[in-house]
Amino acid sequence: MASIWVHAVEQGFAYGIAALGVFITYRVLRFPDLTVDGSFVTGAAIAASLLAHAGFDPFVVLLIAFGSGCLAGLITGLLNTQLGITDLLAGVLTMIMLYSINLRIMGRPNISLLRVDTATRVIERAVPGLGDIAVLLFLAAATGVVVLLLNGFLRTEIGLALRAAGDNEAMITAHGVNPKSMKILGLCLSNGMVALSGALVAQYSGFADVGMGIGTIVTGLAAVIIGGALIRSRRVGWMTLSVLLGSLVYRTAVMFALRYGHHVGFQASDLKLVTSLLVIIAMVVPPIRERLMRKVRAC
């Protein structure tokens, strides 16, 4: 049995991919997209259904889940750019639609993956003796690949156009790029990654639940903002890395609250309170230390 901190890091990676998806819409595209609360579950639902009912390969379903998330993003993109529905409402509408669609995909609210070969189980078997460390390495590798691909993409010509679309719509229009296509592209990519994260989390947890997407936008934003405060950089590589770091900090805070909350008098029902307090501490400490260091140097 690995230490809980190993598990916290595992979850930091698995949910980190969803946080990177939120990063694309919120930071790069500056589009507040609430679709993710639905698309996270869509990814989990597709993966769980194909694994439990159709005997698919656990790694292939990750790609299919990515595709399903892209479709969800496409819907929000079309609602916003073609029908002129405001960004927030477009995302909300797709998210609400996805609730029903996710239930249809699963056929019921909860699918168990306890008796199927999930990616984590296949990995554990393939690398015997390492146990949970093998799962950690797999999730780190999967997240690493996503980060490298994303970094590479954001440096291509289209990737640069996507970043520019978020910064200055008029400027890229002047350069002959259609900002609407960039929005749709960004939303597809973002929700694809969120769905991929959902598929990974479902396989890791051993079940998919229709309620597991609630709060994806909140924890995703938390990771983006925590990371942004810890690593201040405008370089793409550092920014994506900071999002992962933010996700790790958030998941570690949850684990910390679970492990030590009751020692300092908190109850089980205080979990969310303690988690947020820990995140506040993580945010406040680095600037304080910086200020102290400056004072020390000034002396």
Q: Return the sign of the alpha-carbon dihedral for residues 19, 271, 249, 114.
A: negative
158 Cβ contact partners less than 8 Å away, ≥ 6 residues apart:
185
- Shortest reach from residue 157's CB to another protein, in Å: 37
127 binds another protein (CB under 8 A): no
Tokens of 238: 């550092």
Residue 45 near residue 61 (C-beta atoms within 8 A): no
- Shortest reach from residue 129's CB to another protein, in Å: 13
Answer for which of 30, 53, 235, 262 binds another protein (CB under 8 A) is: 262
Tokens of 250: 């958030």
**Residues 103-122 within binding reach of another protein (CB under 8 A):** 103, 108-110, 112-115
268 binds another protein (CB under 8 A): yes
Tokens of 138: 């797999």
Would you say 241 or 277 has its CB closer to another protein?
277
**One-letter identity of residue 221:** L
Name the one residue in this structure whose structure tokens are 């239930």. Answer: 103
Name the one residue in this structure whose structure tokens are 């102290």. Answer: 292
Answer for which of 24, 254, 279, 282 binds another protein (CB under 8 A) is: 254
**One-letter identity of residue 96:** I
Please tell me the count of residues contacting another protein according to CB under 8 A: 38
- Shortest reach from residue 155's CB to another protein, in Å: 33
Answer for which of 138, 209, 217, 248 binds another protein (CB under 8 A) is: 209
Tell me the C-alpha distance between 229 and 204, whole Å: 29
Closest CA to 25 of 143, 177, 170, 193: 193
CA contacts within 13 A on the Cβ side of 260 = 10
Would you say 26 or 204 has its CB closer to another protein?
204
Tell me the C-alpha distance between 168 and 92, whole Å: 25
3-state secondary structure of 117: coil
112 phi, psi to nearest 5 deg: -85, 135
Chain-centre distance for alpha carbon 73? 14
Per-residue binding letters, 173-202, with another protein (x by CB under 8 A): ----------------------------x-
53 binds another protein (CB under 8 A): no
Answer for which of 56, 97, 99, 181 binds another protein (CB under 8 A) is: 99
- Shortest reach from residue 205's CB to another protein, in Å: 5
Tell me the C-alpha distance between 160 and 156, whole Å: 6
- Shortest reach from residue 215's CB to another protein, in Å: 6
**Residues 210-229 within binding reach of another protein (CB under 8 A):** 210-212, 214-215
Would you say 170 or 269 has its CB closer to another protein?
269
205 binds another protein (CB under 8 A): yes
240 phi, psi to nearest 5 deg: -65, -40
Q: Which stretch binds another protein (CB under 8 A): 77-85, 148-156, 237-245, 260-268?
A: 260-268
204 binds another protein (CB under 8 A): yes
- Shortest reach from residue 185's CB to another protein, in Å: 29
Question: Which residues of the shown chain bind another protein in the complex (CB under 8 A)?
Answer: 1, 3-4, 7-8, 11, 15, 99, 103, 108-110, 112-115, 201, 204-207, 209-212, 214-215, 251, 254-255, 258-259, 262, 267-269, 271-272
